Amino acid sequence: MNLQLRPALVAFLGLTVITGLAYPALITGLSKVIFPRQAEGSLIRKEGNVLGSELIGQSFTDAAHFWGRPSVTVGPDGKPLPYNGANSGGSNQAPSNPALKQAVEERIAALRAADPEQQGPIPVDLVTASASGLDPHISPAAAEYQVHRVAKARNLPEAQVRDLVRQHTEGPQFGVLGDATVNVLKLNLALDQAK
């Protein structure tokens, strides 16, 4: 039995060191050298303060800011806590679920109440949550839908706000993967700097 146990234990410890310590340390070190900003979480900083990450959405609810995709994440107590990175996940509600229908109707009502003059169709990403609940992006159509409300709240010309949306619209990855998106945090930070 000792003849079988010793090689198994040596293999176990060797693979633990290689796959559990050496490989992760090597990949972490390489990523910090090759992609330092991404390795630190793609943080957005202003004057040394961290404002957020490009990768995790934030909750904006005032009329003067663009609103992101709804988040259905919850806190440790089970109560809603939007964009909780420690507990990401979707609602897992099917389209036939009455709770999902009610949530979408409430979101539509909130968007209509925030901008009664905007009677166009509401883009789906403004009323449905993503699978992670942390999505930092909206579609260009969702940003366009909000231009009137944001411009009015900030006393800015709609053309100026629309131009900021255009400047912050990111094309598909590598030019072909996915759709164009707008990072809500970056757009709102640019709005805050606009005169």
Q: What is the DSSP string of 30-76?
A: HHHHHSHHHHTT-EEEETTEEEEETTS-----STTS--------B-T
The amino acid sitting at 33 is V
What's the sign of the alpha-carbon dihedral 61, 64, 65, 68?
positive
pLDDT-based confidence at residue 182 (cuts at 50, 70, 90): very high
pLDDT-based confidence at residue 99 (cuts at 50, 70, 90): confident
C-alpha distance from residue 81 to each of 54, 58, 134, 178 (Å): 19, 11, 11, 28
The string over 62-83, giving b where at least 16 C-beta atoms fall within 10 Å of a residue's C-beta and e elsewhere, is eebbbbbbbbbbbeeeeeebbb
Q: What is the pLDDT of residue 40?
A: 85
**Residue 2 above 80 pLDDT?**
no
CA distance 153 to 161: 11
Phi, psi of 138 (to 5 degrees): -130, 165
Q: Going by C-beta distance under 8 Å and a sequence separation of 6 or more, which residues neighbour residue 176?
A: none
**Residue 23 above 90 pLDDT?**
yes
Strand, helix or coil at 160?
helix
| Start-end of H helices in 58-128 | 98-114
Q: What is the pLDDT of residue 195?
A: 67
In the chain, % of residues over pLDDT 70: 99
pLDDT-based confidence at residue 92 (cuts at 50, 70, 90): confident
Q: What is the pLDDT of residue 146?
A: 95
CA angle 86, 88, 91 (to 5 degrees): 145
CA distance 138 to 135: 8
Residue 15 zone, left/alpha/beta (φ > 0; ψ -120 to 50; rest): alpha
